[in-house]
Amino acid sequence: MDRRKSAAFGAFAGLLAVSSLVGCVSVCADELESTGLGGSGPGRGCVPIPLPRSEAGDPNVGVRPVEANGCSASAATDKTAEPKITITFDDVTYDPRCVRVKLGTVVTVTGDFAKHHLWGGYDMGTGTANDADSPFPYKDSGMSFTVTMSRNGTFPYLCPEHFKQGMEGAVIVELR
């Protein structure tokens, strides 16, 4: 194993060691190709990486990241007064893209999932990472999906085919 692969393997091993302490996402083949550790094909060469911790004093500490897919609580559309919200999409844009809601809010995502699949995941810059704890499952058919936000934190979603064109967002769920 050359030095670059050895260093990359050591970094990933360190991430694996702490992955049981914090939430994790999985980085797969396309992200690992640059290190020489990745396999080819779906699901090959996947390793979990820890989610970033929330800021001190935030009620989400240790639960979910503060920012995801370019969304932060301070820049998100405030829908905390509404018990139900709808996120729509057409072309390659979610509306609203980044939204803040209260715990227990019913979120409906509407659009053509055959054209733009819905997936709970992170834009990692060069590829995507699955969020295994996301309330947003992979959807590739239908026109509507509804979920009650039962945990606080930041929950990213994206279209895996069009995230590089900006088709990504997040629902930020607050306790209060």
What Å distances lie between residue 133 and 23, 25, 40, CA to CA? 8, 8, 25
Looking up residue 89, the CATH number of its domain turns out to be: 2.60.40.420
Residue 58 lies in a domain: no
Cβ contact 58:128 at 8 Å: no
Q: Per residue in 126-138, pLDDT tens?
A: 788 888 889 999 9
User: Which residue, chain included where needed, has tokens 């729509």?
Assistant: 88
22 & 92 share domain: no
Residue 45 lies in a domain: yes
Residue 62 lies in a domain: no
* Helix spans in 2-47 (H): 3-18, 29-32
- Spell out the per-residue pLDDT of the chain, length 176, in tens: 444 433 333 333 333 333 333 344 444 434 433 333 333 334 434 444 444 444 444 444 444 557 889 999 999 999 999 999 999 998 899 999 999 999 999 999 999 999 999 999 988 887 888 888 899 999 999 999 999 999 999 999 999 999 988 899 999 999 87
Type of residue numbered 30? D
User: Cα torsion for 85, 52, 16, 121, to the nearest 10°?
Assistant: 30
3 state DSSP class of 27: strand
Q: Kindly report the length of the chain.
A: 176
Residue 40 φ/ψ, nearest 5 degrees:
-120, 150
3 state DSSP class of 28: coil
Closest CA to 98 of 119, 80, 73: 73
Range of the domain at 107: 77-174
34 & 109 share domain: no
81 & 165 share domain: yes
pTM for the whole structure: 0.66
Q: Per residue in 73-106, pLDDT tens?
A: 999 999 999 999 999 998 899 999 999 999 999 9
The tally of domains found in the chain comes to 2
